[in-house]
């Protein structure tokens, strides 16, 4: 191989990459958190709501999980303006990722709802707790503990694979930023080597953060690796 790496080009623009990484992290954290809320409502509906509501939620989940995230975001960015709705590229990625995460998390969290001991829910009921209170105090801690690893994995998926979809509609997250910069001086290999490492560092930090959060908040004895 005769290629000579010239990393100093990358270092000169490292600030821009850091900004991209920061945006990636923000997109990932926001889409995941908002997706968790949607997923919680969706899973609660699938478990407790009347049939028409369950069908509606199921329809949403089936539609979203069976179409590519890229298409969904294209639809928001290029399709909605036809109907007079115009969002910025960042908003489209954010909303698209959030809906996407919400659909997947509905199914992930539903497994958690199903595994709550019905006897605990009955005990809560006889103690006068309302359904939202039972969800808040019995189901959520149970889910957080029992499927915490699945949730943490899903966060990494969004952080790495989900957010990079933004690049195709010009959002300057980490991948987008790398494409922008390397188009200027053709140092693709250098940029993408560094960016790959930055993703690794990002997921590393996120994993540690999640493991610590799990231990502190939910008594999850999660291993970091």
Interacting residue ranges for another protein, rule: CB under 8 A? 117, 119-120, 122-129, 133, 137-138, 141-142, 145, 218-219
**Closest separation in Å from C-beta 117 to another protein:** 7
Nearest to 177 by CA among 161, 166, 193, 189: 166
Nearest to 91 by CA among 80, 82, 105, 83: 80
Nearest CB to another protein, comparing residues 32 and 148: 148
**Closest separation in Å from C-beta 144 to another protein:** 8
**Closest separation in Å from C-beta 154 to another protein:** 21
Nearest CB to another protein, comparing residues 80 and 131: 131
Nearest CB to another protein, comparing residues 97 and 109: 109
Nearest CB to another protein, comparing residues 50 and 84: 50
> Residue written as tokens 């969706």?
42
Per the CB < 8 A criterion, the answer to whether 94 and 26 are in contact is: no
Q: What is the C-alpha to C-alpha distance for residues 200 and 196, in angstroms, rounded to an integer?
A: 6
Would you say the C-alpha torsion 167, 169, 172, 173 has a positive or negative sign?
A: negative
Surface-to-core class of residue 173, CB atoms within 10 Å of its CB (0-12 exposed, 13-18 middle, 19+ buried): buried
**Closest separation in Å from C-beta 50 to another protein:** 16
């Amino acid at each position: 191989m005769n290629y000579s790496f010239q990393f100093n080009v990358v270092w000169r623009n490292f600030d821009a990459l850091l900004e991209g990484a920061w945006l990636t992290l923000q997109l990932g954290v926001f889409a995941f958190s908002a997706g968790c809320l949607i997923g919680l409502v969706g899973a609660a509906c699938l478990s407790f709501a009347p049939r028409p509501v369950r069908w509606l939620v199921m329809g949403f989940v089936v539609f979203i999980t069976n179409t590519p995230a890229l298409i969904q975001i294209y639809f928001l960015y290029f399709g909605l303006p036809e109907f007079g709705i115009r969002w910025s590229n960042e908003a489209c990625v954010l909303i698209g990722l959030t809906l996407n995460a919400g659909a997947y998390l509905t199914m992930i969290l539903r497994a958690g709802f199903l595994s709550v001991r019905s006897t605990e829910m009955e005990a809560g009921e006889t103690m006068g707790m309302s359904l939202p209170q039972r969800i808040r105090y019995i189901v959520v801690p149970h889910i957080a503990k029992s499927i915490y690893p699945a949730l943490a994995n899903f966060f990494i998926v969004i952080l790495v694979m989900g957010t990079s979809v933004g690049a195709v509609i010009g959002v300057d997250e980490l991948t987008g930023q790398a494409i922008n910069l390397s188009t200027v001086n053709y140092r693709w290999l250098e940029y993408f080597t560094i960016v790959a490492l930055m993703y690794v560092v990002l997921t590393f930090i996120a994993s540690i953060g999640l493991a610590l959060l799990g231990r502190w908040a939910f008594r999850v004895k999660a291993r970091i690796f």
